[in-house]
Structure 1
């Protein structure tokens, strides 16, 4: 079993009113490798109390799905004998109400564009590689969100 650690730190700032909800949602996430990330609630959720320049949980989930798919895809492509030299994805997720008062990221689109050196996979082989990557992606296996791969 593998273990993953993230430290999340938020502090109320002078002049903020926690009781009235008038406080910054900005915080820091530090990962076990030492990388620190400025984070916040989404401006779509808390408006002016968000830190727009920071990463929000919804963006992190979209990025995690894209990142996991990419890493798994590159592994599957290598095993199939293909040489990928660039992988670029502009992933996008949507949040919707799933029942009264409950929101969820319901769908994430992955839109990878891959550059190959040498022999390129056929459309069928590319679809198969993406299918295998999706099936093996740890993050995709961990969420209810529909993940759609729109490979170009």
Structure 2
């Protein structure tokens, strides 16, 4: 059974310094991403493209969406497969190549560090990353490979 989901938000440019887009240097890349009932995300372009380094850029948000989706898919699969995860941190890296007037991500690598409660869970915990990738809606929507380099350790008693 197929289900359709629709997501809505508003992206508002806030970078008009008075001259609009009269020239490439006349405007800021500042904008806001808002959705009903959620905190506003302040965004800009990458600083390499005249963006504000104190704001999120679209490339970071794409990488964050991949990492978040993988995390949520993975935790679900661990729960239903009786793999008890007590900690999860990912520090993903995305690679974008800029061409003549265009650019695209060529790959992303997720690097989750996972802690499980028992040594017998480690092998399954590693294997579930492949299943999580197949289940991740965002990974299924991008046109570049998403690689995984997970590390799984066992929690130590304090």
Q: Same fold (TM over 0.5)?
A: yes
In terms of fraction of residues, the more strand-rich structure is 1
Q: Distance in 1 between matches of 2:69 and 2:107?
A: 16
Structure 2 equivalent of residue 51 of structure 1: 52
List runs of 5+ in structure 2 lacking aligned partners: 152-158
Matched, 1:27 2:31: yes
Aligned 8 A contact 1:108 1:148 in 2: yes
How many residues of Structure 1 are paired with residues of Structure 2 in the alignment?
147
Where in structure 2 are the equivalents of 1:1-152 lying within 5 Å? 1-16=4-19, 18-21=21-24, 22-44=26-48, 46-47=49-50, 50-97=51-98, 100-123=100-123, 125-152=124-151
Aligned 8 A contact 2:85 2:115 in 1: yes
Shift of 1:5: 1.2
Task: State the superposition RMSD in angstroms.
Answer: 1.7
Q: Distance in 1 between matches of 2:137 and 2:36?
A: 19
If the length of structure 2 is used for normalisation, what is the TM-score? Answer: 0.85
Consecutive aligned runs of 4 or more in structure 1 exceeding 3 Å deviation = 11-17
In terms of fraction of residues, the more helix-rich structure is 1
List runs of 5+ in structure 1 lacking aligned partners: none
Aligned 8 A contact 1:82 1:120 in 2: no
Q: Distance in 2 between matches of 1:129 and 1:151?
A: 10
